[in-house]
A and B are shown apart, each in its own frame.
Chain A
Amino acid sequence: MADGGDTPDTLRDYLKTEYKKATGGTLTIEEQGWGDALAKLQTALPDADNTPDVTEIGNTWSPTFTNVGAFSDISDMYDELGGDKLLTSFVDVGKVDGKNYALPYYFGSRYVFYRKDLYAAAGVEVPTTLPQLTEIAQKLHNDSTSGFYLGGEDWRNGVSWIFAYGGDLAKQDGDQWKSSLSDPKSIEGLEALQELYTSASNAPVTEADSTPWVNINTQPEAAGPEAATIIAPGWAHWSIGDLAPDPKDDTKQVATWNDEVFGAYVLPGVDGGVAPVFAGGSNIAISASSKNQAGARELMKIIFSKEYQEMLGANGLGPANSDYVSSLGDDQFAKALIESALGSKLTPAAVGWAGVEGSGLLEEFFGKVNAGGDVASLAAEYDKKIDELINKS
């Protein structure tokens, strides 16, 4: 099996033990960094000698790999693995012609982390609308502390502004997709994002989806944090808090969440409510070229079992099966995760979407927008570039 780095070790151990019990075989889990995963999967999956039997795959890449025939048809197992209870939007991106190939593994979501101390000092409240967020971020902002720390090329977070204003990355027309950055609503969202970035973020234009939590923590020997507000995937809360040397290894640091200093809220919508954020998470599928289809199916059963789904939840990863979502708990992080995930949106289920992501065009486009470029003409330019890739497999 191949997975990204987000599955905790206890869960991996559980899978290995259960797999041994069920089949007598040994389960090897090979972790791939998300940066290389796309390239590695392209070359490993078609090759029967090197393919993982079961593979985790970023949800946004699922349409591409499902369409080119990388995965085995598991429609016959669909009901046994959870059926209608499984997260619909994730099931849909793993489907071709009504057959199931990739199923949801876990979902994540993005919400906002902020510094209560800085908010209090500046006399601002947690915003309830998106324009308000820009307003308070500007008040909090100065040369050493970003009001809202956001990288210029960080499209995975930035796209929430397009979604919030009712726009979209691409629209489907028959079986063809068309990039819709030039849609008036998308442009409105991008302009709002541009305003926030240019007036309230010290992050470089060239910074993409990185590790924003280092900026909200007060680093040792620093006068204050680099950011009053950040947006990050829910599991980032493990890395946010007061920093102290790790008692087990003093070359490392541990962050302990401190309710006095740190807080979380969901990204507000344009007129209040919740803004749709980018739905993070993964799908999971059996490689079509795997020689061990039977073993792979056993592993799928273990992954979709009640026990494993609840273990995912307990570790802050949204379980694929809605029956077990309560295992996330009811603390502020679980609440923010569930609330933001409910409204979250996926990237287009287009055949060429993995190619669009791989091309770096979105980073390039968001970077140019946030550098202060003319949104309408940039949108037209990149619509054209993305259209060349989006329907191509």
Chain B
Amino acid sequence: MSAPTRTPARARMSSPAPGPRIQPRRTTGVPYVLIVPALIALLLGLGYPLIWQIVTSFQKYGLSQQFGKPPEFVGFDNFANLVWDGEFWAVLVRSLLFCVVTAAVTVVIGVLMAVLMNAVGRTVRLILQISMLFAWAMPVAAATTVFIWLFDRRRGVVNYLLDAIPGVDMNRYDWLGNPLTFFFVASVLIIWMSVPFVSFAIYAGLTQISEEVMEAAQIDGAGAWQRFRRIILPMVRPVLSIVLLLQLIWDLRVFAQITLLKDAGSKSGDFDLLGTYIYKLGTATGDFGMASAVSIVVLLVTLAISWVYVRELIKEDEAQ
């Protein structure tokens, strides 16, 4: 915020002395008033659902309650049920694995694309950027539908091409039919959609690395890999951390892609991740209490992942 141009009357009276003037601290409530609308929007938009969710997670809240019957407070019952629910643990572990693998691959490919963009000439870079922008701007439903077509059992181009390789029998291979290949398709789809964001962010970081440093390193005899490992990576590390964190969080709560792929494949719980699991518990079977409890667990997991990073960022800040 810029310094006030008008010196408050009180300050003028109390500091009449000549010499270097110390800017007095503003004591008006204006900043607080200005922040109120944002605060209200945040509280209403994020706070209300969050509080509702926390409250509901301690209640027995089903369809009857949705239609007006007063809910019953059940303490930690919903959470206790989760602890003994094998399916919940399976979904949680599956989601964590899925999110770690997907986010890691996304970031690796994203970094490589960024390095590539940095290395190539202007025209090629422009082509790369525009095509990635298209991928990034593609609505989830459209992208998922295209992927469903690509991997279609009967008419998909993926099976067609793989089957054309001599000795490979992929005719009518049902990619969405078993969890492993299902999540492979889901992962490829999500990576395809998220790489542009990562590579743009990293590319922006790369452009900040000064030519002189790179040149000096080269003169000192550092090879390409050494320059990447010892100079580029450390310098874009802050961007890298935040991008990886965001990817982890996004991939943990992925919902639309999994739902649409499930619509084209199986309704079975073996294909659920946390997002679809919560939806199934709450909206589909009407157990909003349990659904809220799982949501709270996801929130805690997200906070835990973020905390590691936030702590590291703070440490780095302090070191500087």
Chain A residues with CB under 8 A of B172? 202
Instruction: Indicate if B287 sits at the interface (CB-CB under 8 A).
Output: yes
| CB contacts between A and B, total, < 8 Å | 90
Residue contact A205 to B68, C-beta cutoff 8 Å: no
Q: How far is the CB of A372 from chain B (nearest CB, A)?
A: 14
Instruction: Indicate if A35 sits at the interface (CB-CB under 8 A).
Output: yes
Chain A residues with CB under 8 A of B280? 358-360
Instruction: Indicate if B268 sits at the interface (CB-CB under 8 A).
Output: yes
Interchain CB contact (< 8 A) of A204 among B62, B64, B153, B286: B153
Instruction: Indicate if A354 sits at the interface (CB-CB under 8 A).
Output: yes
CA of A158 to CA of B177 in the docked complex: distance in angstroms?
19
B interface SS class: loop
Residue contact B286 to A69, C-beta cutoff 8 Å: no
Instruction: Indicate if A392 sits at the interface (CB-CB under 8 A).
Output: yes
Contact with A along B50-64 (1 / 0, CB 8 A): 000000000000111
Q: How far is the CB of A217 from chain B (nearest CB, A)?
A: 14
Q: How far is the CB of A206 from chain B (nearest CB, A)?
A: 3
Instruction: Indicate if B71 sits at the interface (CB-CB under 8 A).
Output: no
Chain A residues with CB under 8 A of B265? 204, 206
Residue contact A363 to B267, C-beta cutoff 8 Å: yes
Instruction: Indicate if A364 sits at the interface (CB-CB under 8 A).
Output: yes
Residue contact B177 to A68, C-beta cutoff 8 Å: no
Chain A residues with CB under 8 A of B62? 392-393
Contact with B along A184-206 (1 / 0, CB 8 A): 00000000000000000010111
CA of A359 to CA of B217 in the docked complex: distance in angstroms?
60
Given known A-B contacts A204-B177, A205-B177, A360-B280, A392 and B287 have beta carbons under 8 A apart: yes
For window 326-371 of A, CB contacts with B under 8 Å fall at 354-356, 358-361, 363-364, 367-368
Residue contact B67 to A355, C-beta cutoff 8 Å: no
Residue contact B63 to A64, C-beta cutoff 8 Å: yes
Interchain CB contact (< 8 A) of B177 among A65, A206, A389: A206
Contact with A along B241-264 (1 / 0, CB 8 A): 000000000000000000000010
Residue contact A364 to B269, C-beta cutoff 8 Å: yes
Q: Which B residues are within 8 Å of any A CB, using their own CB?
A: 62-64, 66-69, 153, 172, 174, 176-177, 263, 265-270, 280, 283-287
Q: Which A residues are within 8 Å of any B CB, using their own CB?
A: 35, 38-39, 42-43, 45-46, 64-65, 67-70, 153, 202, 204-206, 208, 288, 354-356, 358-361, 363-364, 367-368, 389, 392-393
Q: Give 29 CB contacts A-B under 8 Å.
A: A42-B63, A42-B286, A43-B283, A46-B66, A68-B66, A68-B69, A69-B68, A202-B172, A204-B174, A205-B266, A206-B174, A206-B176, A206-B177, A206-B265, A206-B266, A208-B266, A355-B286, A358-B283, A359-B280, A360-B267, A360-B268, A361-B269, A363-B266, A363-B268, A364-B267, A364-B270, A367-B267, A392-B62, A392-B287
